[in-house]
């Protein structure tokens, strides 16, 4: 069994709820996520891998300037 995170998302794609559970595989985790999320958007994560869900871009890292701030 593997550990998965099911993330229920708000309309702006921010995370509303995170549930951690163990499943036998990706398909079982996806079925559970669909049932749990009902009509809401969701993501399913196995470790650092997004198995399924809304596409979200991670913010790009900004280099530090000489003043110690980003930009």
Q: pTM to 2 decimals?
A: 0.73
* Predicted local confidence at residue 53, as pLDDT: 78
Q: What share of the chain is helix, strand, coil (3-state, %, to 5)?
A: 15, 40, 40
- C-alpha distance across the termini of the chain, in Å: 44
Cβ atoms of 42 and 9 within 8 Å: the answer is yes
- Residue 47 exposure: Cα atoms within 13 Å on the Cβ side: 4
pLDDT tens-digit series, residues 25-60:
999 999 999 999 999 999 999 999 999 976 555 444
């Amino acid at each position: 069994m593997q550990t998965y995170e099911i993330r229920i998302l708000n309309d702006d794609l921010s995370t509303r709820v995170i549930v951690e559970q163990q499943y036998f595989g990706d398909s079982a985790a996806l079925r559970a996520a669909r049932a749990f999320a009902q009509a809401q958007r969701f993501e399913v994560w196995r470790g650092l891998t997004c198995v399924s869900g809304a596409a979200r871009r991670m913010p790009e890292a900004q280099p530090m300037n000489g003043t110690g701030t980003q930009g």
